[in-house]
Structure 1
Amino acid sequence: MSYVLYYSPGAASMPVHWMLIEMGVPFEARLVDIDAGQQRDPDYLRLNPAGQVPTLVVDGVPRHESAALLMLLAERHPDAGLAPAPGSAQRAPWFEWMVYLANTVLPAMRDWFYADSDGDPAGAGAVRALAQRRIEDACARLDAHCGAGHAYLVGERLSTADLLALVLMRWTRNMPRPATAGWPHLASYIHRLCALPSFIEVNQREKLTEWRNGDS
């Protein structure tokens, strides 16, 4: 199995980068400098016509979409235990969390950050307000789940759902109400995951200095 990850620091590629490190599988990481517009380079567009990250070249074939890549890697490396086994009691909740994070929280994040550029700037304020409400609702849902005694989103061990959730929560760090503010159970969950060696390492590899401990 061979993997080449095209990533941008702290972007939607981060949970995939983190997962590859957590699993300990060999891979090559190639930086896509979004600030310099490298996502629009013809060579990159041949790999990812949408001009987005991540792109994961799997055995020579480029694949896309962060949630899909997390699920694909979990399927290809079942021994890593980052997804419940097919047929297990936790398989359905895992699907539910993955789809919720990908279909509800990720689009709300997109609306929050890109309301001005993705649509009519005149309506950006309303779009961003709705996005903020949806993101805060997600924080409340995660907080309630953690407050019910769950150490992880699915079962009793780390899964792809936790990897995706933590990166999404990282994106709230400069919002009016970050995920670590006002949701004590969620904050504890965030701090615990931030202490994982693989999360520390992905921050080091991506040269990220903000929010290494969940706060700054």
Structure 2
Amino acid sequence: MAAKLHSIAGSRSFRVNWLLQELGEPVEIVPYQIMDGSLQRPDFKAKSPARRVPALEIDGRVLFESGAIVQYLCETRTGHDLMPAIDSAERADWLQWLHYPETLGAGIQNLNMQHLFLPKDWMKSPTVMGIETKRLAIALKAVEGALTDGRDYLLSSGFSAADVMMGFTLDSARRYVRFDNYPQTAAYLARLKAREAYIAAEAAEGPQQFYTQDFYNLPES
């Protein structure tokens, strides 16, 4: 029986969609729109208490936190090399990189609110935008540093689920921080987006619903 992924195209649910594609797990995408009220329906609230995607129906239960879902899938599925063994020397690094994308994501979420979702210009703060952009740029330095030793992925052993978590996040981060000063990160993101499973996940999900510009400049204060 296929897993059922409650999803908004271009949201954190893409991480789960992509990982399921990497694992070869069948998935049914249940699409939502961010502004049409569908996330507020009682049936969805029962699946996701915060009324946010993703929510994944799988193995007779519902999971609703993307990082937890990614780790759960790695731990319950076999025949893959997307997670180092518990006694592996890379296990701690994998766990750290698995969750570091949410450090980036906190800034991206604030920038999304400022640039995309506050409806009136007077509601927006150039100061907040500037601070969050700077914080995001600083946080990206850790990713660039991890890739400067010539490795293609976050772990020296190769592609893992940590890259799935990071790839979605970087594709959003590039909307607010130019990657000119992060050449390794830019090349890394291009490698991730060229993966067959990434492309399949994009096709299954459809066009992202958030960004109308490739890059968002800071407004003049």
Q: Name the aligned partner's letter for residue 173 of structure 2.
A: T
CA positional deviation for 1:123:
7.7
CA distance, structure 1, for counterparts of residue 187 and residue 147 of structure 2: 9
Aligned partner letter, 1:184: P
For the residues of structure 2 that align with 1:57 and 1:198, how far apart are their CA atoms? 20
- Equivalents in 1 of 2:146, 2:47: separation in Å? 38
Q: Quick check: 1:2–1:60 contact (8 Å CA) kept in 2? A: no
Q: CA RMSD in A?
A: 2.3
Q: 1:206 offset after TM fit, Å?
A: 1.7
Identity level (%): 28
Distance 1:203 1:84 in 2: 26
Superimposed CA distance per residue, residues 79-136 of structure 1 (whole angstroms, 9 cap, x where no aligned partner): 221111111011010111122222x11212111112476xxx7684333322211211
Distance 1:130 1:79 in 2: 44
In the other structure, the counterpart of 1:143 is 144
Q: Do the aligned partners of 2:143 and 2:185 also contact (CA within 8 Å) in 1?
A: yes
Separation in structure 2 between the aligned mates of residue 58 and residue 207 of structure 1, nearest angstrom: 22
Matches of 1:59 and 1:204 in 2, distance apart? Answer: 25
Which residue is equivalent to 1:128?
129
SS of the aligned residue for 2:16 comes to helix
User: In the comparison of the two structures, how many residue pairs are matched?
Assistant: 206
Please, which runs of 5 or more residues in structure 2 have no aligned partner? 216-221
Q: Which amino acid aligns with 2:207?
A: L
Residue equivalent to 2:182: 183
Q: Which residue of 1 aligns with 2:218?
A: none
Distance 1:31 1:185, change over 3 A: same
User: What amino acid is the match of 1:4?
Assistant: K
Q: How many angstroms does 1:3 deviate by?
A: 2.1
More displaced 10-residue stretch of structure 1: 130-139 or 185-194: 130-139
Which consecutive unaligned segments of at least 5 residues does structure 1 have? none
What's the CA shift string for 1:117-166, capped at 9, x where partnerless?
A: 6xxx7684333322211211222221121112221112322111111111
The one-character-per-residue Cα deviations of 1:31-62 (angstroms, maximum 9, x if unpaired) are: 12223221111211111121100001122321
The DSSP-based 3-state class of the residue aligned with 1:80 is: coil
TM-score calculated relative to the size of structure 1: 0.86
CA–CA separation in structure 1 for the residues paired with 2:175 and 2:188? 19
- 2:190 aligned partner, one-letter code: H
**Residue of structure 2 in register with 1:42 after alignment:** 42
CA–CA distance in structure 1, aligned partners of residues 172 and 111 of structure 2: 10
1:57-206 correspondence runs (5 A): 57-102=57-102, 104-115=103-114, 124-175=125-176, 177-178=177-178, 180-206=179-205
Does structure 2 retain, via aligned residues, the 8 Å contact 1:44–1:51? yes
Question: Partners in 1 of 2:69 and 2:160 — Cα distance?
Answer: 13
Q: Deviations over 1:153-207 (max 9, x none)?
A: 12322111111111111112432x33x3321111111111111111111111222
What is the distance in 2 between the residues matched to 1:209 and 1:57?
22
1:52 & 1:11 partners in 2: Cα distance? 10
Higher relative contact order (CA 8 A, sep 6+): 2
Distance 1:58 1:153, change over 3 A: same
Does the 8 Å contact 1:2/1:59 carry over to 2?
A: no
